Structure 1
Amino acid sequence: MQLSDAVTNLPGVGAKRAESLQSLGITTIEQLLTHYPFRYEDIKARALTEIQDQEKVTLRGIVVSPAVLSRFGYKKSRLQFRMMQEHDVFQVSFFNQPFLKEKIILSEEIAVYGKWDAKKKSLTGMKILSSGQQEEFAPIYHVNKSIRQTTLIQLIKAALEKYGDWIEENLPQSLLQKYRLLSRKEAIYAMHFPKDMQAHHQAKRRIIFEEFFIFQMQIQGLKYAEKSEKHGLMLAYDNDKLKAFIAQLPFELTAAQKRVTNEICRDMLSKKHMQRLLQGDVGSGKTVVAAICMYAAVTAGFQSALMVPTEILAQQHYQSLQQLFANTPVKIALLTGSTKAKEREQLLPQLKAGEIDIIVGTHALIQDEVDFSHLGLVITDEQHRFGVNQRKILREKGWRPDVLFMTATPIPRTLAITAYGEMDVSIIDELPAGRIPIETRWVLPKQLTATLDWAKSELAKGHQMYVICPLIEESEALDVENALKIYHELSQFYDPTYQVGLLHGRMKNAEKEAIMQQFKEKELQILVSTTVIEVGVNVPNATIMLIIDADRFGLAQLHQLRGRVGRGSQASYCILLANPKNEMGKERMKIMTETNNGFVLSEKDLALRGPGEVFGQRQSGIPLFGFADIVNDAHILEVAQQEAQAIWQINDWQVLPEYAPIQAYINAVQPNERFFD
């Protein structure tokens, strides 16, 4: 017997019931035993004198009147009888549970769980508890139409009875002792049927740690395999040339830029395969760091690829790199969906022959016909916007090139540990000198006219303004309609002094490019846009970011949008126009006006909205845990990560007896099955 046995090994589980269990994701004994309750009901019997109106309680007493069943309507019924506790008599009613009548026997003691109505002195019953039931807490499980709570509880009891002695420990004894954790067997029992809330708390601690620890052991295993020396390229760059390149840059690198550049270059120089995540707040100078690293790769005789999510961003990076490499022989090319066929026909053979050193592009870079001569470094920007497979295809264009992921979306520590746990992380945590912090104001819709009037004073200085329209999830057509409406209103308001442009998701790429170009060249003073300008667009002359219905955006997105201004040396402003209807919306507006620090914001966003909302669950790469919660249990996650790292640093830990249980368990539970996409 083992926990991987099918649930059909339990008495009373035939094909139909097995199908019902499968709809809950339960096919084995292990899955049944780890289908934990999401809450517990307090079912210990109470005295009438100590209960409140509308409270859910268990009342124990003697049945003092026969049960009367009344039927009304289709399949509707009411079962009524009277109970006595001490000298108090009260009415009990059960709705639509006629089968309970035979359990109600005159003059016998009974315990009923239900909702108390103090005015009517009556109890609306939910269930009758068995007379010998001594537990103080009843587990409540996630179930569906196919299976009832009572059935699930009976099956879990049967599984514990039959398989309880076969529950094996999967954590090292040293960790059980260090953190005073229950054994796995004790924890599983106490998760389902705790004798008190303290026992339940200890069981929870154990199960949360176990989930995080197993995940981290798998993640650290991936990291260890990725970084092993036999798996990597050594990019032996020319240090003197690299220093000369940095020295001729038109600005001094910040201390943070120097630190992360050293971390990345150290990885490139080693034989180990690099997988590094570069986080930097909006405007912190990640592009310059990427340029230095790509130049290092060129001096080592390798090509680099920079993949970005939008054509506008690709164009911008291409122009920035051309300026940075103007005094070098480095050959740069741009490849997007809009690259003309003739240009493409010239470019692809050059890339394959190694005549192009650096190529910047969108996902056009991962098409089959794109071949490299000697790809050594792959950089993806705003990397969570690409699927796992897209990033993988680009990596496979070379022989295990070093990989650098960049993001301006500050990632909370707990998400970095889970979604990017197999990577090393570098953080640029300071802005270039001379940047004036952006002033953020929250205004109500009735103040819009006054705000637009105030904006005239900035426009009069020759500055420019973004106006962002909210995304209406139901329909892209509504987004466009909304943006058009605001565009016409502002065109009238500022006519004829200032020109207004419009940018939205339904425009062709060439149209978007043309509008952005006009805005960059100051032919347009105001740009009305849906969030297509969110990432990376650089117009240093823009000093106002007005976000309409700002409460519709998450904190990370608002911060991204705010980062489109304040890119020059002038004072800049972010105006949040919003009238939030709930407390969370008000809290988001308040937080935005209090801090410009993206990392502080990202932590608060995670606490307010949860991981799935922050990144969008589907492409976030955030693992789904059965019971643990990466927000509320973050401290346990960090401890689990440290312990897993320590074990993977022990030579041949897999053959040591202490780690045999965890090794066996990881081998039995395939990574794809539990956490990975």
Structure 2
Amino acid sequence: MQSLQDPVTKLKGVGAKRAADLATLGIDTVADLLTYYPTRYNDLTPADIQAAKDKQKVTLVGKVVSEPLLTRFGYRRNRLSFRLQVGNNVVMVTFFNQPYLEKKLVIDKTVTVMGKWDARRQQVTANRLLDAAPQESNDFGAVYSVNKHVKQALLRSLIRQAYEEYRGVIPTLLPQTLRQRYRLLNRRTMIKELHFPTDAAQAKAARRTATYEEFFLFQLRLQAIRQAQRQQDGLQILYHNDEVKEFISHIGFELTNAQKRVVNEICADLRRPYQMNRLLQGDVGSGKTIVAAIAIYATITAGYQAALMAPTEILAAQHAEKLAKTFAGTHVHIGLLTGSLSAKQHRQLRDAIKRGDINLVIGTHALIQDDVEYANLGLAITDEQHRFGVNQRQRLREKGDNPDILAMTATPIPRTLAITAYGEMDVSIIDELPAGRKPIQTKWFKVDQQNEALHFLRDQLAAGAQAYVVSPLIEESEALDVQNATDLYQQLATYLAPDYQVGLLHGRMTGEEKDQVMHDFQDGKTQVLVSTTVIEVGVDNPNATVMIIYNADRFGLAQLHQLRGRVGRGDRQSYCLLLADPKTDDGKARMKTMVATNDGFKVAQRDLELRGSGDVLGRKQSGLPDFKVGDPVGDLKILQIARNDAEQLLKAPHWDTIDDNQPLVLYLQRHQLETHFD
């Protein structure tokens, strides 16, 4: 019996080698092949050359009326020319470096060529040749993302074969009510029109249907997880409210209104009998740590343990040091669990955690090792949550009896997008800075103004400040004309000698070397720290008030904002100096955005506008999902509608017993394991 889950080896011409090649594109099954959608379409509508504009991309259909002439010049360089009769006109067609096309060019044969029109010379510089007119070739211009293992022609051929053989088992997943409401195609027609569109209008309708379907299915999975979490038993953490209020009154400063709001949201979740699953977003310096500390303290007053997992040992140690001061004189007992502990230290700490003597465990992924057992874990917090994989976050959840989960991130995402993309999580946002924090002044210097920036640096050092200097590379690269950290370190050490000491920090150093460099900087033994982006997250030195970023146009906006957030941690005025000569409009726009605003959410919005759904929305940067068709930025309205529709469908009584919803029931059953907590 045929199934879309059949391996691609079921198709004619696909053996083990070809299957392995297809796997490099993420194609393992027939379903993968059919949903490997085109990235764009070539417009194969024949052009009217009388109306075609100079340099316009055109498609011409005509007869070959001259023998092709192949001229070779230089190593592997050649030109293939022939005359093509298009209606009553004869035009010259030229291909560069495609000599193999010569065999396909036969007198009186009808062909289609695509290329750039030269109106003055009445000729085409072509880049593609089809063996027949479009309506005869069944090639309607779909263009796919391919690699060196899989070529366009092979992919098109296999997709067509898969569609012809399996179209009878392609299910329509979306209920008829939704298809009628939004005038969507059924799934079989959608797939056909995406790969082999009848015309541009049908291709557009198919892509619109695929975008909504992809977003709806994604949201359905998230909402199903959310619903399951609401139904399963969680911990009801009945904290001592008076103790928590007493603790807050002694932290030494007034919480911002945003912090108070978020604390109330989290504390309300702790008391509820189902598992909290909350994302805490806050710009750099907004005070997420004290919010987490209050949640930890509340949890411990109820007799439970709390765990805080950080992505690096530096950040874990920093959290332990800060929270030790915050909890001084209370009944919070902190343990720092990292991979650098000796076997004896690790065993002693592990035993204390198991007994419950340690009620706040801070560490790296060492927290989720098999040999670490908790007495009664009530709250699990991940800091910079997008830097952990799904499996790591899930293992932390499994360390207790459905502990409450708080995920923190300083990577700003516009609120509407965050609420939609993290559909299974409740989202809390700290959107104001603590009182007394002075906005960081950001200045953009061209590279020939470097001396002006360095004079400013020396003046600030003379006033008792410390500074970070960031470079994109560790060592010299011939490929990129950028200042590298080692050269920069030597230059600055010479320039500032003997008055000031300079340190160097980069990713190739050992953990011990990094720790020593950081301690020297935090203790004031070095006044300037030259670094690669290892200081982007997890360094906190309130005395550092200057950040200089060389070749700033090499960084994305989100990364620049994270780097800037390393200063401005105290009550002194701080500065960020960007040294860059951007060559592109986007590069200039990034510099102007950094100068114009300190608001991380505005920076994130501008980043999304400039870069679309590429790196910004990829898993590496922000934890947001990648979609095959939909663009969460450009198609945000569709994403929000799909979220609302999925939520309403799951709320309907006995929705899973309705005949029209059965394909969705099967879909959720098939995907629930791979999407659990994803």
1:392 corresponding residue in structure 2: 394
1:565 corresponding residue in structure 2: 567
Specify which of 189, 209, 216 is matched with residue 212 of structure 2.
209
- Alpha-carbon offset, residue 566 of structure 1: 1.4
1:4 corresponding residue in structure 2: 4
1:441 corresponding residue in structure 2: 443
* 1:273 counterpart = 2:275: yes
1:309 corresponding residue in structure 2: 311
In the TM superposition, 1:139-538 aligns within 5 A as 139-143=142-146, 149=152, 153=156, 164=167, 167-230=170-233, 232-339=234-341, 343-413=345-415, 416=418, 420-472=422-474, 482-538=484-540
Supply the AA of the counterpart residue of 1:49: Q
Change (3 A) 1:89 1:511: closer
Moved more, 314-323 or 202-211: 314-323
Distance across 2 between alignment mates of 1:144 and 1:370: 44
Moved more, 115-124 or 232-241: 115-124
Change (3 A) 1:289 1:15: closer
- Alpha-carbon offset, residue 143 of structure 1: 5.0
Distance across 1 between alignment mates of 2:498 and 2:79: 74
- Alpha-carbon offset, residue 543 of structure 1: 1.6
Supply the AA of the counterpart residue of 1:423: M
What is the DSSP-based 3-state SS (H/G/I as helix, E as strand, rest coil) of the residue aligned with 2:185?
Answer: coil
1:48 corresponding residue in structure 2: 49
1:578 corresponding residue in structure 2: 580
Which structure has the larger Rg?
1
Moved more, 636-645 or 22-31: 22-31
Change (3 A) 1:516 1:77: closer
Write out per-residue CA displacement over residues 127-155 of structure 1, whole angstroms, 9 at most, x where no aligned residue: 24349649995333345667765665566
Write out per-residue CA displacement over residues 567-597 of structure 1, whole angstroms, 9 at most, x where no aligned residue: 2222211111122233322221111111101
Change (3 A) 1:34 1:309: closer
Checking the alignment, whether the CA contact within 8 Å between 1:543 and 1:566 is kept in structure 2 is yes
Moved more, 183-192 or 580-589: 183-192
- Alpha-carbon offset, residue 634 of structure 1: 2.3
Write out per-residue CA displacement over residues 75-124 of structure 1, whole angstroms, 9 at most, x where no aligned residue: 999684553633x344557852355356836xxxx453343454554455
Supply the AA of the counterpart residue of 1:40: Y
- Alpha-carbon offset, residue 161 of structure 1: 5.7
Supply the AA of the counterpart residue of 1:104: D
Write out per-residue CA displacement over residues 4-31 of structure 1, whole angstroms, 9 at most, x where no aligned residue: 2859899965759975767765565544
1:138 corresponding residue in structure 2: 141
Supply the AA of the counterpart residue of 2:52: I
1:663 corresponding residue in structure 2: 665
2:651 corresponding residue in structure 1: 649
Moved more, 520-529 or 289-298: 520-529
Moved more, 555-564 or 35-44: 35-44
Distance across 2 between alignment mates of 1:647 and 1:372: 39
Distance across 1 between alignment mates of 2:361 and 2:84: 82
Distance across 1 between alignment mates of 2:40 and 2:265: 46
Specify which of 101, 104, 109 is matched with residue 108 of structure 2.
104
Distance across 1 between alignment mates of 2:225 and 2:476: 39
Change (3 A) 1:9 1:581: closer
Supply the AA of the counterpart residue of 1:37: P
- Alpha-carbon offset, residue 207 of structure 1: 0.8
- Alpha-carbon offset, residue 464 of structure 1: 2.1
- Alpha-carbon offset, residue 302 of structure 1: 0.5
Checking the alignment, whether the CA contact within 8 Å between 1:209 and 1:636 is kept in structure 2 is yes
Write out per-residue CA displacement over residues 338-371 of structure 1, whole angstroms, 9 at most, x where no aligned residue: 4455554543322221112212222332334332
Distance across 1 between alignment mates of 2:191 and 2:382: 43
Change (3 A) 1:47 1:316: closer
Checking the alignment, whether the CA contact within 8 Å between 1:58 and 1:111 is kept in structure 2 is no
Normalised TM-score (structure 2): 0.87
Segments of structure 2 that go 5 or more residues without pairing to the other structure are: none
Checking the alignment, whether the CA contact within 8 Å between 2:548 and 2:577 is kept in structure 1 is yes
Supply the AA of the counterpart residue of 1:4: L
Supply the AA of the counterpart residue of 2:365: H
- Alpha-carbon offset, residue 197 of structure 1: 2.6
Checking the alignment, whether the CA contact within 8 Å between 2:619 and 2:626 is kept in structure 1 is no
- Alpha-carbon offset, residue 433 of structure 1: 0.9
In the TM superposition, 1:83-122 aligns within 5 A as 83=85, 85-86=87-88, 88-91=89-92, 95-100=99-104, 104=108, 110=110, 112-115=112-115, 116-122=117-123
Distance across 1 between alignment mates of 2:23 and 2:468: 52
Write out per-residue CA displacement over residues 171-218 of structure 1, whole angstroms, 9 at most, x where no aligned residue: 122222332323334433332343443332222111100011111111
* 1:606 counterpart = 2:608: yes
What is the DSSP-based 3-state SS (H/G/I as helix, E as strand, rest coil) of the residue aligned with 2:141?
Answer: strand
Supply the AA of the counterpart residue of 1:47: D
Supply the AA of the counterpart residue of 1:100: K
Change (3 A) 1:653 1:471: farther
Write out per-residue CA displacement over residues 32-53 of structure 1, whole angstroms, 9 at most, x where no aligned residue: 4433332222223333322244
Checking the alignment, whether the CA contact within 8 Å between 1:611 and 1:617 is kept in structure 2 is no
Supply the AA of the counterpart residue of 2:556: G
Checking the alignment, whether the CA contact within 8 Å between 1:218 and 1:671 is kept in structure 2 is no
- Alpha-carbon offset, residue 156 of structure 1: 5.2
Change (3 A) 1:41 1:318: closer
Distance across 2 between alignment mates of 1:71 and 1:525: 65
Normalised TM-score (structure 1): 0.87
Distance across 2 between alignment mates of 1:96 and 1:293: 69
Change (3 A) 1:34 1:354: closer
Distance across 2 between alignment mates of 1:143 and 1:81: 32
Moved more, 588-597 or 538-547: 538-547
Distance across 2 between alignment mates of 1:415 and 1:172: 26
2:625 corresponding residue in structure 1: 623
Supply the AA of the counterpart residue of 1:179: Y
Supply the AA of the counterpart residue of 1:331: H
Moved more, 506-515 or 458-467: 506-515
Change (3 A) 1:597 1:84: closer
Supply the AA of the counterpart residue of 2:589: E
Checking the alignment, whether the CA contact within 8 Å between 1:419 and 1:620 is kept in structure 2 is no
Distance across 2 between alignment mates of 1:324 and 1:236: 22
Q: Report the RMSD for the aligned CA atoms in angstroms.
A: 3.8
Write out per-residue CA displacement over residues 530-564 of structure 1, whole angstroms, 9 at most, x where no aligned residue: 33322232222222111222222222222122112
Distance across 2 between alignment mates of 1:347 and 1:14: 55
Checking the alignment, whether the CA contact within 8 Å between 1:10 and 1:158 is kept in structure 2 is no
Moved more, 392-401 or 351-360: 392-401
Supply the AA of the counterpart residue of 1:358: L
Specify which of 537, 545, 550 is matched with residue 548 of structure 1.
550
